[in-house]
Amino acid sequence: MSENQNLLAEQRRSLILDEVRRRGGVRVNELTRKLGVSDMTVRRDLDALARQGVLEKVHGGAVPVVEASTHEPGFEAKSGLELTAKEDIARAAAELVAPGSAIALSGGTTTYALAHQLVDVPDLTVVTNSVRVADVFHAAQRTTGPRQGAATVVLTGGVRTPSDSLVGPVADQAIGALHFDVLFLGVHGISVEAGLSTPNLAEAETNRRLVQSARRVVVVADHTKWGVVGLSSFAALEQVDTLVTDAGLERAARAEIAEHLRRLVVAGEPDEGADI
């Protein structure tokens, strides 16, 4: 981490969290030197990250939170993490959407960011099991009023999860009867061994149905999701056509991913892959 007096709070906290995860713990005095900010600023950042449940404060510093594979953070807790990365990923993923196509958006904070990028793409049919994603499109229509080319939104039924996704038999049956061109899928974790995974068993089954109903699968996931494994796997990496991620993903991970996926898109970097 390079010293920078002008880092935004979000950027500082992302750097702090990366350092904690990489090293297994950091001290406040180390962070003040590396970030070039005051002791009080670092402590406020650690307080904010601790409230989000992503690290644990200890005397003089912080350590990672060791989460069980069944732990599922709520939407609000996740929405405050990696905001810049999610916006970058959303913009890159939106470029893969053709007007008039039928797409699916799973639940998650990154797909929620993507939904905001898609409200002006004409003639979309959007299938989603996310209450939050559906609200984005409905809010846009309430703001602008009825307009030609506005998205048609199909919201599955189901039981609501902590991340505001609808899952279970009702959602599974609805999704199984549909077919869409591209699925944009948010994930809890992604790894070579476990593939795509989630801590929620019902959500795993619903995600399985989404993957089965899609002609192409695009995973939208920031770099912190790499190497994370939830309780239940629902797809292998080989079932994914494209991963859209951010520049924080390390080179070694990129090389490993490239061995299993058809296409890797890193937001903000040149993309040499073929269009979907």
| One domain, residues 141 and 190 | yes
At residue 156's C-alpha, the angle toward residues 153 and 162, to 5°, is 110
Residue 2 inside a domain? The answer is no
Domain end (from 66, 93, 110): 66
pLDDT of residue 10: 79
Average pLDDT over residues 84-105: 95
| One domain, residues 62 and 82 | no
Domain end (from 66, 89, 115): 66
Residue 29 inside a domain? The answer is yes
214 or 162, which is more confident? 214
| One domain, residues 50 and 81 | no
Domains identified in the chain, total number: 2
Q: What is the pLDDT of residues 46-88, one digit of tens each?
A: 988 888 777 888 888 888 766 544 445 554 455 555 678 899 9
| One domain, residues 113 and 240 | yes
**What is the domain extent for residue 206?**
76-266
pLDDT of residue 150: 85
| One domain, residues 125 and 218 | yes
| One domain, residues 17 and 89 | no
CATH number at residue 176: 3.40.50.1360
| One domain, residues 58 and 102 | no
Lowest mean per-residue pLDDT among 16-20, 172-176, 256-260, 261-265: 16-20
pLDDT of residue 133: 94
| One domain, residues 209 and 255 | yes
Residue 1 inside a domain? The answer is no
pLDDT of residue 272: 53
| One domain, residues 104 and 172 | yes
CATH number at residue 46: 1.10.10.10
Domain end (from 22, 39, 66): 66
Q: What is the pLDDT of residues 123-152, one digit of tens each?
A: 999 999 999 999 999 998 877 767 777 899
Strands 232-235 and 195-198, by their bridges, are antiparallel
| One domain, residues 23 and 138 | no
Name 76's Cβ contacts closer than 8 Å, sequence gap at least 6: none
| One domain, residues 137 and 97 | yes
Please report, in angstroms and rounded to a whole number, the separation of the first and last CA atoms in the chain.
Answer: 36
Residue 173 inside a domain? The answer is yes
pLDDT of residue 236: 95
Determine if the pTM surpasses 0.75: no
Residue 275 inside a domain? The answer is no
pLDDT of residue 59: 80
Residue 23 inside a domain? The answer is yes
Residue 122 inside a domain? The answer is yes
Residue 151 inside a domain? The answer is yes
| One domain, residues 155 and 221 | yes
210 or 76, which is more confident? 210
